[in-house]
Structure 1
């Protein structure tokens, strides 16, 4: 895992974890990294000092596995909360989010599917939306 200090075009600063620098490059190229404050995908790395590992061995060689398990549990919990408490609107997400924002539809929390173009248009118009975490694999089925 690698942690990057990031910033968006509006100079909001935040951090994100990636499996590798190649994962960051791939996600950045596909516009998948978003500012948690304004939602723009125009995000870049900040200058930061590298974290150099010392020669001392870790007291806990399983720390990375525990961290990954914790992140997968959090992703499952977030997704379960949304699915249990928000209205699923399917592929009408962009249309319904816009209607709620404009006041022509009942104000409520929703989730569904939208194309990258629809998401970009919502964000450009100041309509908040965010991607749900992917469904992590069941820890019992991992090897």
Structure 2
């Protein structure tokens, strides 16, 4: 998996995870990468720095002496906790209602149902359910179009 910093043509910045660089390119070409703020599909990668883990023996090898950093002229403002955006919460609630009204909940059978539809073993229909990260990655590697939902499904029982 790879995380990209992205920016839309309206200058909204956001991040998203992709299976690999080719997955991003194909999804972007299909217009499936959209800005969560404005919905624009004109999205490009932003400048980003990779996260590099220190080597295992970095703790045993003394680090070269570095000059002490100079303190900033003014202290950075403390982060302030903000309430969730009510508009975003409303949109997620609307999406949840639409998905639950127009799709079949298949629960823990999501992986097998999605795979069967992809292989043509059963008729295609809109479904949603639950899958662990490893199973979701396998589906993506097989070319099965799946995506996570921004909410937890309401569990339906018989």
TM-score, normalising length: structure 1? 0.53
Who wins on radius of gyration, i.e. which is larger?
2
Q: Match of 1:114?
A: 131
In structure 1, the residue corresponding to 2:115 is in which secondary structure?
Answer: helix
In structure 2, the residue corresponding to 1:74 is in which secondary structure?
Answer: helix
1:5 offset after TM fit, Å? 6.6
Would you tell me which structure has more helix in proportion to its own residues? Answer: 1
CA distance in 2, matches of 1:84, 1:128: 20
Show structure 1 runs of 5+ residues with no match. Answer: 18-36, 38-44, 49-63, 136-143
Judging changes above 3 Å, is the alpha-carbon distance between structure 1 residues 5 and 98 closer, same or farther for their aligned structure 2 residues? closer
1:92 offset after TM fit, Å? 0.4
CA distance in 2, matches of 1:88, 1:6: 25
Q: Match of 2:47?
A: 47
Q: Match of 1:123?
A: 140
* Ranges of 4+ aligned residues in structure 1 off by more than 6 Å: none
Q: Match of 1:104?
A: 121
Show structure 2 runs of 5+ residues with no match. Answer: 1-11, 49-81, 153-158
CA distance in 1, matches of 2:17, 2:110: 28
Indicate the RMSD between aligned Cα atoms, in angstroms. 3.1
Q: Match of 2:108?
A: 91
User: 5 Å matches for 1:1-143?
Assistant: 3-4=13-14, 9-10=21-22, 12=25, 15=35, 46-47=46-47, 68-134=85-151
In structure 2, the residue corresponding to 1:104 is in which secondary structure?
Answer: coil
**Greater relative contact order: 1 or 2 (C-alpha under 8 angstroms, separation 6 or more)?**
1
1:90-120, Cα deviation, whole Å (9 max, x unpaired)? 1000000000011101210000000101100
Judging changes above 3 Å, is the alpha-carbon distance between structure 1 residues 125 and 74 closer, same or farther for their aligned structure 2 residues? same
CA distance in 2, matches of 1:80, 1:106: 24
